[in-house]
Amino acid sequence: MTKLVQTTVDVGTEQLKPRWFFFQRRRPVDSIQEYWREKGRWWKQEPELHVYRVVSEGTLFELHYFPDTAQWVLHRMYD
């Protein structure tokens, strides 16, 4: 089961990689399963997007990072 969250979250990083994030409570990033970058719809000036799929305490989360605003969004969680 997956749940679309799509909410801005605080994320602590180390060497640009997420080490913890705050969603309902502070959650550690145990591992980064996947990471990729998307240019987005550049013709509509959509910002670049970095996707991190991270495991935190047994649950898979998908975090989105927007380098132009340094903003983090919790996009989805996978139960």
Q: Does 30 bind other proteins (CB under 8 A)?
A: no
In the numeric block, the tokens 């990083």 are attached to: 13
Interface residue with other proteins among 5, 13, 23, 35 (CB under 8 A) is 35
In the numeric block, the tokens 């000036």 are attached to: 45
Interface residue with other proteins among 3, 14, 24, 36 (CB under 8 A) is 36
Q: Does 39 bind other proteins (CB under 8 A)?
A: yes
CA distance 9 to 72: 6
φ, ψ of residue 39 in degrees (nearest 5): -75, -25
What's the chain's length in residues?
79
Interface residue with other proteins among 7, 48, 59, 67 (CB under 8 A) is 48
Interface residues with other proteins (CB under 8 A) are: 32, 34-39, 41-43, 48, 50-51
